[in-house]
């Protein structure tokens, strides 16, 4: 196997591909070595990072990548899909819809420093709505959509029930601030109940180190804090940016990417206004507030 520092075996033939430091555009992936083929879970934001992922995955079992599963539409998990040239891309129906509608998004006004390389849009080709089973030799992967918006409208859990391993996508940020701008705080918290019901022993989060179920409550707690802050801010007549500046983060002050707070509040405010979970809002205004809160475009290292 390629001695990549990012590949961590979490079960026999099952690997998390954990990219430090898990900040903006630096995601985690995974792969299952299935004898004569390899199944990959998510690609990366840049050409360089995705090529490294695919090389590591193929060398792990000495077999080509035949299937890529996307956990949601965000570019840090899908930009590299096109590089898996011999593979079928599997994802939620809404993942394809959003990617086709919006194309590749780099948000250059908000982020700086990314080394994208050459990127081409490749949305999923095999689609599902609720659940789909993928077999990788003797490993069963249950793909589960929670049924509503959470981190996004199209999140997919990749659950390996016999191994008690869960690739949870961005429903878990381990050590980083959750980012709910394109989803729903209430829906995300409901989705975490589904994660609890699965009773995973090992969780590969979308960002940050591999963890156990203790990370579920940490994310849930942040989302509850966000909802309370939004209720306070709206009642006090504060804008999301003003509420973010006034906030006492308490136990969440140690999380990275604190600039996500005003953007998260845009979504939480919209939900308090009665907007349905995951409904479109003004992303540009929310991202602008995030940059203002940060004091400059956000430096990335992808």
160: in domain = yes
120: in domain = yes
10: in domain = yes
* 203 vs 288: CA distance, rounded Å: 33
* 38 vs 209: CA distance, rounded Å: 23
70: in domain = yes
Q: What is the β-pairing status of strands 88-92 and 126-128?
A: parallel
Q: Which of 67, 92, 80 is nearest to 25 (CA)?
A: 80
239: in domain = no
Give how many domains the chain has, as a whole number. Answer: 1
142: in domain = yes
Give the range of the structural domain holding residue 121, as residue numbers without chain letter.
6-168
Mean pLDDT (10-residue bins), the chain, 302 residues: 81 98 98 96 98 96 94 98 98 98 96 97 98 97 98 98 98 98 98 98 98 98 98 98 98 98 98 98 98 97 95
Q: Which of 207, 204, 188 is nearest to 77 (CA)?
A: 207
pLDDT in tens, 2-34: 468 999 999 999 999 999 999 999 999 999 999
pLDDT in tens, 221-258: 999 999 999 999 999 999 999 999 999 999 999 999 99
What is the reported pTM? Answer: 0.97
Q: Which positions ≥6 away from 164 have C-beta within 8 Å? A: 199, 200, 201, 202
Return the pLDDT at 152: 98
37: in domain = yes
CATH of the domain at 40: 3.60.15.10
23: in domain = yes
């Amino acid at each position: 196997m390629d001695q990549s520092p990012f590949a961590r075996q979490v079960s026999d033939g099952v690997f998390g591909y954990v990219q430090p430091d898990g900040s903006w555009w630096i995601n985690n992936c995974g792969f299952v070595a299935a004898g004569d083929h390899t199944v990959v879970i998510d690609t990366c934001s840049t050409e360089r990072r995705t090529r490294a992922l695919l090389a590591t995955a193929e060398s792990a079992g000495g077999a080509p990548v035949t299937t890529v599963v996307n956990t949601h539409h965000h570019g840090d998990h899908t930009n590299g899909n096109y590089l898996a040239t011999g593979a079928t891309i599997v994802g939620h129906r809404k993942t394809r819809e959003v990617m086709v509608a919006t194309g590749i998004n780099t948000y250059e006004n908000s982020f700086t420093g990314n080394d994208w390389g050459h990127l081409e849009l490749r949305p999923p080709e095999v689609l599902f709505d609720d659940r789909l089973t993928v077999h990788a030799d003797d490993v069963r992967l249950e793909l589960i959509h929670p049924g509503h918006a959470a981190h996004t409208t199209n999140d997919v859990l990749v659950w390996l029930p016999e191994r008690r391993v869960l690739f949870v996508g961005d429903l878990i940020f381990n050590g980083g601030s959750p980012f709910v701008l394109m989803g729903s705080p209430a829906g995300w918290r409901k989705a975490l109940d589904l994660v609890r019901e699965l009773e995973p022993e090992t969780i590969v989060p979308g960002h940050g180190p591999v963890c156990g179920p203790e990370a579920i409550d940490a994310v849930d707690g942040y989302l509850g804090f966000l909802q309370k802050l939004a209720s306070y801010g709206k009642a006090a007549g504060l804008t999301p940016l003003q509420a973010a500046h006034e906030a006492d983060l308490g136990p969440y002050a140690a999380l990275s990417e604190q600039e996500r707070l005003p953007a998260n509040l845009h979504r939480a405010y919209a939900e308090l206004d009665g907007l349905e979970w995951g409904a479109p809002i003004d992303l540009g205004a929310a991202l602008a507030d995030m940059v203002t809160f940060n004091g400059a475009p956000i430096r990335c290292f992808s």
